[in-house]
Structure 1
Amino acid sequence: MARTKEFDPDAALQSALELFWRRGYEATSMADLVEHLGIGRASIYATFGNKHELYLKALDRYGETHDPPLLDALSKPGAALPAVRAVVRLFATEAATESRREKGCFITNTAAELGPHDREAARRVELSWQHIETLTHAALVRAQGQGELPADRDPRALARMLLVLMQGLRVVGKTSQDPARVHDAAEQALTLLD
């Protein structure tokens, strides 16, 4: 007879995500996970695999739950350029928020910590960035078609610039004590859309 799990795997994954997000991959040991999740090492391995597999699952969960609400505005019908501006400003506000400063963005953190040498983590980061770039590009194409964005602007190049800006805002926001730094950068970049 199979034993039933004595823990909620979904809640455990969310708890692991929070720990990895706050501490990073290398600074989180299996002993830390056992203690933080409140479940045994064997149960972690049986449910999620090794530490790396658990980290990738946590990264997938983050990607499914954190950026989509930020980016929903880019797909809504109507004026597109105000939506692009709102998303960039929201990234800046999030980056400058005291509560986010400690953790930053899990995707951006992963890019910096694991991206150069972990193919699976880098692939997930790239998928997240492609998603942001694609939605931003589509919104800018719509804006151009609706006469909101000048015809001489390149929507693809602008989308890429905004992606790099938004990720940079997240990096700078983690350590900067001056919220104006990220807000000023965002506003300056948005002048390229005029």
Structure 2
Amino acid sequence: MARTKEFDPDAALQSALELFWRRGYEATSMADLVEHLGIARASLYATFGSKRELYLRALERYGEQCGPTVVEELSQPGPVLPAVRALVMRFAEEASRDALRRGCFVTNTAVELAAHDPECARRVEEAWRSLETALTSALIRARAQGEFAADRDVADMTALARMLLVLLQGLRVVGKADPDPGRLRDAAEQALTLLG
């Protein structure tokens, strides 16, 4: 007869996500995970496989929790540029209020692992492409609605979306290292002047 799990795998995955997000991949050992999750090492391996597999599942979970919010914010009917401005300012505010200095789990993965882990690099690129696509679509819609000068073409919207992607990720990195609200707010506001 098969034994039933003595823990909730979903809750354990969420707890692992929080630990990896706070400490990073390399600084989190299997012993740390065993202690933090309160799960026997054998059960952890049987349920999630290796530490790396657990990390990748945590990264996937993070994307499921955070990704749809941005797309929803940018796809609301009505004027687009106020939503883009609000998104940028929200990233700046969240980065300055992050008492744990966790940053963005995707950005943390990019900085720590993407250069030498192709699967992590692929997942980071996938997350960034999704955000860039949402920004590009929103800006093209804003252009079609007359929120930009008529001489701004679609290529301008794509380049602007890429700049905003880099800004948003940069806000998370700077906020993790030095969450000075003035620095983050000033950077965000200056970048937003490009929206017109």
What is the alpha-carbon distance in structure 1 between the residues aligned to residue 195 and residue 101 of structure 2?
31
What is the alpha-carbon distance in structure 2 between the residues aligned to residue 151 and residue 129 of structure 1?
28
| Letter in structure 2 aligned against 1:118 | D
Kept in 2, the 8 Å contact 1:70–1:90? The answer is: no
What is the alpha-carbon distance in structure 2 between the residues aligned to residue 72 and residue 108 of structure 1?
21
What is the alpha-carbon distance in structure 2 between the residues aligned to residue 124 and residue 38 of structure 1?
28
**Post-superposition offset of 1:70:** 3.7
What is the alpha-carbon distance in structure 2 between the residues aligned to residue 121 and residue 98 of structure 1?
24
What is the alpha-carbon distance in structure 1 between the residues aligned to residue 56 and residue 141 of structure 2?
34
1:139 aligns with 2:138: yes
Kept in 1, the 8 Å contact 2:98–2:175? The answer is: no
Paired residues in the alignment total 193
Aligned sequence identity (%): 70
1:162 equivalent among 141, 152, 164:
164
| Letter in structure 2 aligned against 1:64 | E
Which stretches of structure 1, 4 residues or longer, exceed 6 Å deviation after superposition?
none
Unaligned runs of 5+ in 2: none
What is the alpha-carbon distance in structure 2 between the residues aligned to residue 176 and residue 191 of structure 1?
24
Aligned to 1:66, the other structure's residue is in SS state helix
| Letter in structure 1 aligned against 2:159 | A
Q: Which residue of 1 aligns with 2:50?
A: 50
- Within a 5 Å distance, the mapping from 1:27-66 to structure 2 comes to 27-66=27-66
What is the alpha-carbon distance in structure 2 between the residues aligned to residue 180 and residue 186 of structure 1?
10
| Letter in structure 2 aligned against 1:186 | A
TM-score by length of 1: 0.96
Kept in 2, the 8 Å contact 1:115–1:121? The answer is: yes
Cα RMSD of the aligned pairs, angstroms, is 1.1
TM-score by length of 2: 0.95
